[in-house]
Structure 1
Amino acid sequence: MLEDGVQLYAPDFANSGGGFKSCYFSELARLEEQNFWFRSRNQLIVWALSKYCKDFQSFLEVGCGTGFVLSGVSQAFPGATLLGSEIFSAGLGYAAARLPSVKFIQMDARDIPYREEFDVIGAFDVLEHIEDDMTVLCEVRAALKANGFMFITVPQHRWLWSPVDEYACHVRRYSASELYKKLESIGFDIVHSTSFVSLLLPAMLLSRLKQRHAQSSIDPADELKLSGGLNAFLYKVMQAELGFIKSGVNLPFGGSRLVVAKRRDWILK
């Protein structure tokens, strides 16, 4: 089924897929390019792609949202064939406007319509929105070529749970061990893993504690609406952190985690 030139593989979920509110896309599209966290995450993803599979030819992003990550990947790897997927049709309009030369589809990550098709599949802050994350991981493995790579970012540490997670429609924050166990049990080997948003973790924890105990209502989206000066300072902190990661330091604690996993041919029983 086609809608505005986009293939719909899960049309029943195109406007009400759950796990996210499609009305958030307009705000994300407006804030991502300047926000320190989104910019720093893109740089981390591009660095990891360059380090672990720089010669990849095909890349699928699961849950591409407004296309911000794909825009970074496109700039860094202009020769690769990119495909963006999103369960909500609303997000794909913003993504296509950003990247008119990239193909986009609407699909449910629990039912990926490809088998052994991609060198790399990315899911960046997606799994935490989905109750049945194991089905998604199994579908990703099936869609990867032999020895293909999965790149994941997720929020971590359950003790950081706050109204921000509820606002973002998260169903969990991961621990590293939980994510490793899930990946390894279905046929992935962990190639690289590190926390990020580590230097800012104390400030993040204080913010979360304040939100939990606030007497009046607060807007969790305020974390995206920063002054120019504060945003610039936080970006510099994240740049220092990225320097540590590039030098080989795997940070044990942080608000988020990056995992690079490689498909293996056998599955643990």
Structure 2
Amino acid sequence: MIRCLSCSSTFPTSGNSEICPDCGWEPHTIEGITAYAPEFAGGGGGFQPEYFEDLAALEASNFWFRSRNKLIQVMLRRFCPNFGSFLEVGCGTGYVLSGIRRLNSHAAIAGSDIFMAGLKFAVERLPSARLMQMDARSVPFVEEFDVVGAFDVIEHINEDELVLEQLHGALKENGTLIVTVPQHRWLWSTLDDYSHHFRRYTEAELRRKVEAAGFEIIRNTSFVTVLLPLMAISRLARRNKPVETIDVRSELQLSPVFNSILGLLLACEIALIKVGVSLPVGGSRLLVARKR
């Protein structure tokens, strides 16, 4: 179902039409992509739009992005192996969605981002997916998806509790939410400022906000645990450095040997999580929840 962003009535889609039968509202189109929040499509905070070009070039080979993809897929196989529809909020360049597409080629795959800069790369990666420009604080769907994912997204949004409520509404009955976020406030550094983070979460804060939005948590664990000492040293060393010194490309472009070693270490963590181990600390946290 579509929720009209003008009068809030709900209505089914009819072919490719999303015109509200009550008030005549319909979304904009930008470069062939449906735009539900066109006023934010070019920028406006929360992320650096120019960062997407570096991501598109480097994330497929970077140990962290590869490992996070594997972990997300482990959760999908475990908790919703037969999902028929999936929405990723904040899909960026489409890297995560491309992995989910390979995992389940029959599912209806959708991705949204507030910035057109990322969606341009996602269109190339996923020509058959339903891609849209959207503000996660105002989701125009009601009981539409089996699974909704937000991977390192809600920390970029001041109104994270509102976003979680919106994602709850977009899920079908007993639908599944999968979220990853950066963790531990003491790891805050210039890199968080550069990334436009509003917060790094504690386990208690994330759990409280997800449950308040109407979810029942079914899996909750840290990851990037084994690398936490390295993260702490790196973050603390740059805590007082100016944002202008951040070079994203150098952050992501590691030597092949070092990149492989870090990937192997995270593969060990994923193996533990897969068999049910919950890691207490780590640079990131993953949470899986069901819509109540």
Q: How does 1:1-269 map to 2 (within 5 A)?
A: 1-212=28-239, 218-219=245-246, 221=248, 222-264=250-292
Pairwise CA distance, 1:5: 1.3
Distance 2:80 2:70 in 1: 15
Pairwise CA distance, 1:17: 3.6
Distance 2:171 2:33 in 1: 22
- Amino acid of the structure 1 residue aligned with 2:136: A
Identity %: 53
Distance 2:213 2:152 in 1: 20
Change (3 A) 1:191 1:229: same
Q: Which has the larger radius of gyration?
A: 2
Distance 2:243 2:47 in 1: 24
In structure 2, list runs of 5 or more residues that go unmatched.
1-27
Distance 2:243 2:198 in 1: 24
Distance 1:215 1:35 in 2: 25
- Amino acid of the structure 2 residue aligned with 1:202: P
Distance 1:157 1:216 in 2: 20
Name the Cα RMSD after superposition.
Answer: 1.4
Q: Is the 8 A contact 1:17 1:87 kept in 2?
A: no
What do residues 186-229 of structure 1 show as CA deviations (whole Å, max 9, x unaligned)?
A: 21010001111000001110111111255997435233121111
Change (3 A) 1:250 1:4: same
What do residues 205-256 of structure 1 show as CA deviations (whole Å, max 9, x unaligned)?
A: 0111111255997435233121111111111111111111112110010000
| DSSP-derived class of the 2:166 partner | helix
Distance 1:145 1:173 in 2: 29
Scaled by the length of structure 2, what TM-score is found? Answer: 0.88
Distance 2:285 2:121 in 1: 26
Q: Is the 8 A contact 1:167 1:220 kept in 2?
A: no
Distance 2:224 2:59 in 1: 16
Q: Is the 8 A contact 1:32 1:38 kept in 2?
A: yes
Pairwise CA distance, 1:121: 0.3
Distance 1:30 1:48 in 2: 26
Distance 2:291 2:167 in 1: 10
| DSSP-derived class of the 1:212 partner | coil
Q: Is the 8 A contact 1:116 1:144 kept in 2?
A: yes
| DSSP-derived class of the 2:271 partner | helix
| DSSP-derived class of the 2:71 partner | helix
